[in-house]
Chains A and B, each alone.
Chain A
């Protein structure tokens, strides 16, 4: 509309002023809307924190928006009355092991698919990718039966084993390895390096950003995973954070301060990881969407 106005009216002094003001109004409105939106998006986190600091929240009490008398009582109760420290340790342990093993299985498989020629390579890779479409739920019953036969129900190993191979991780690292120039391997081969040397000294250092992305996703996936640990880990002292949190709700139906304190404990490590590796997290998601 304004464009046609300016072309029709050759009043040079009027047009640019009008246009600039219009842009700046839109600019301000956009900022106000985006910031308001961000505050709304952030509010649930703020409310979680406030609730966790307001003892008695939920027992007919709505916490104040800015607590006048914040208290850490809920955290104290959480860690003294339940094996919550153990639960946090369990989560860290399982996430760390999952991450390391997934990194190993993904990197080796990615190398095979990127650098080794063998019969059926495309088919095997295709099968790996297809497994990503299998919902975990389809596997629960047979996995449960299998691990029961191995005597691994209610053990860390039982919770860990099904997480050891990740088709997503393999795909991610293979894409990264395909970007590493073949000249590098050839030069190393001429120097007498075998595949294991090339894998270790050339490939891995050259795909560090992809490795960082995988580390973040593997850790996050394990930290937040719910269904399988829920099925396998029965004893309270073996449980992970999401399971313990879901359990808190049953036990303290109305003690929202405690449930929210547990949520804060669960959020903080992810928040730290996210702030620290934001670039890799966003990049990982963004890349997965680009064809």
Chain B
């Protein structure tokens, strides 16, 4: 599932002062040179198992990707240094704008669906409901399913000719759209499938947030004569803002990286109508052998994600209530 990432970073910032780890080495064996060396070896022994793969398979490649982005390379022949040409050609290629726009379309369609849906479910599950655990379990089920399965199942449900959705619509005399075979409906199909999968994830996060709200707040609001909607907007949502913030950060990071479901549902089609950034990176690398350009595009994506995340973390003080 999930890059539970940036929150970790956001969480770290708000968390650190509250629960500091006392830097207490449990050596207690005097400052002799031999024991200092021994201690250093202990630290290395605990750190290297994670540090080696981090350096070799994350940080190293990250830097290498920047290098590759300045070259003309097809993965086979020796790379040729071409400076900023890849970035220049990407910025002038209208398809670059298109893939970012399609990705944005995905995010703008997906985010309100999962947030409003997840909030409604979380509110319902937070009330005195019979069979809450079972209901929560069912709503969460798609989260543990792989994107590929989700994409395939929805491709089948939304099959234009004999998929169940259009069959049911047909009963009511509605001619269903062509879904993933229609350029106008390809992205809505992907959004629908993705929202179905992630609804339970958002629900659980918001539910956890709701459960930290002190019930006295509601009683006080009731005494003041606040109705249900008023309590939702004046009590629940402000107090839920840390969880909302988390959902926003995660959804935007994952949204910009949308790929699996696109690859399996439409492959970016029809006619490139659902081509997203990562699908383009994949195609550039493995279909067209333009690895340098692909690296440049992936760095552009990384910078966009970084900027969006930083802006959100910066802006959180304005609306996130860490009461």
Contact = CB atoms under 8 A, between A and B. Distances in A.
Contact of B50 (A161, A170, A288): A170
- Closest 5 A/B residue pairs (Cβ): A132-B5, A224-B146, A286-B208, A289-B205, A142-B64
Contacts of A270: 144-146
B260 A227 contact: yes
B84 interface: no
Contact of A226 (B45, B136, B148, B243): B148
Contacts of A131: 54, 58-59
B216 to A, nearest CB: 18
B309 A137 contact: no
Contact of B65 (A132, A139, A171, A274): A139
A84 interface: no
Contacts of B142: 41, 44
B158 to A, nearest CB: 10
Contacts of A287: 208
Interface of A: 1, 3-4, 27, 30-31, 33-35, 37-38, 41-42, 44-45, 47-48, 51, 58, 60-62, 104-106, 108-109, 111-118, 121, 124, 126-146, 148, 161-162, 164-165, 167-168, 170-171, 178, 182, 185-186, 189, 194-196, 198-199, 217, 220-221, 223-224, 226-227, 231, 241-242, 245-246, 249, 256, 259-260, 263, 266-267, 270-271, 273-275, 278, 281-282, 285-291
A41 B138 contact: yes
Contacts of B205: 285-286, 288-289
Contacts of A38: 135, 138-139
Interface residues of B, number: 119
Given A135-B302, A256-B156, A289 B57 contact: no
B146 A223 contact: yes
Nearest to B38: A194
Contacts of A135: 253, 256-257, 278, 298, 301-302, 305
B225 to A, nearest CB: 7
Contacts of A139: 57-58, 61-62, 65
Contact of A165 (B23, B28, B53, B68): B53
Contacts of A129: 5, 8-9, 12
Nearest to A289: B205
Nearest to B151: A246
Contact of B242 (A45, A142, A198, A291): A291
Given A48-B156, A62-B162, A141-B285, 7 more contacts: A108-B46, A138-B65, A141-B65, A146-B60, A162-B58, A242-B260, A271-B144
A144 B52 CA distance: 18
A48 B152 CA distance: 10
Nearest to A116: B43
Interface in B113-157: 121, 124-125, 127-130, 135-149, 152-157
A168 B149 contact: no
B14 interface: yes
B70 interface: no
B3 to A, nearest CB: 6
Given A131-B54, A242-B146, A116 B124 contact: no
Nearest to A27: B128
B24 interface: yes
Nearest to B13: A291
A253 to B, nearest CB: 10
B101 interface: no
A198 to B, nearest CB: 7
Given A58-B162, A145-B75, A189-B26, A217 B9 contact: no
Contacts of B302: 134-135, 138
Contacts of B4: 132, 168, 288
A137 B278 contact: yes
Contact of A245 (B128, B149, B242): B149
A116 to B, nearest CB: 5
Nearest to B8: A171
